[in-house]
Chain A
């Protein structure tokens, strides 16, 4: 059984990554925050008796399932929104802007030009990632970002190892093509990695 300290360390380690991954999937920061917080709570409440070594797989599974629940609810909500859209017209873009939302932390680069360039590059990469079909994005994130092997990714996605390889291969080719189109070839990315 993991201690509260172990859980805290684990969550601190994964929360930012989990948040970004969720943002790429749901394309809404508020929703992504809700999903990540929900996943953290579920892990703590339902799997308190599990050892800390099992947390990474469990948390990823909970996160993926919470996202799927969100999409299911969203489907129903979209149906109602479409039906009732005429009543709610003109509500978009009226939210107050909070300066806290745009203040980034831990950006060690003080040069605004470098910051801008990095930010624009990341936007291109994020857009490319968002453009991937859901299953390909899931495979890409689990396999390369979460550094899981093919068997673990297959278990997480509930499909065969062959399917994981196919999803990954397609994701890699699509990403490479999208980035190349934006002038971000493999050499440019390699340079960025060295700089960061």
Chain B
């Protein structure tokens, strides 16, 4: 589950669902991929809720540091 992002998680999840749909897995295999699928969907759910919705302006200070300021449109 490391180095994963939403897109790759969704893609893997789709592949898992298709595998299950195909009905060609043994019960043991099905349980293994199902468990992975549950983990992936929990991860995706978390990602979907994660964003904070902030709008900010990015500035570079004279000392080279980056600074985020709240944007007041």
Chains A and B belong together in one complex:
no
Interfacial residues, chain B to chain A (CB-CB below 8 A):
none
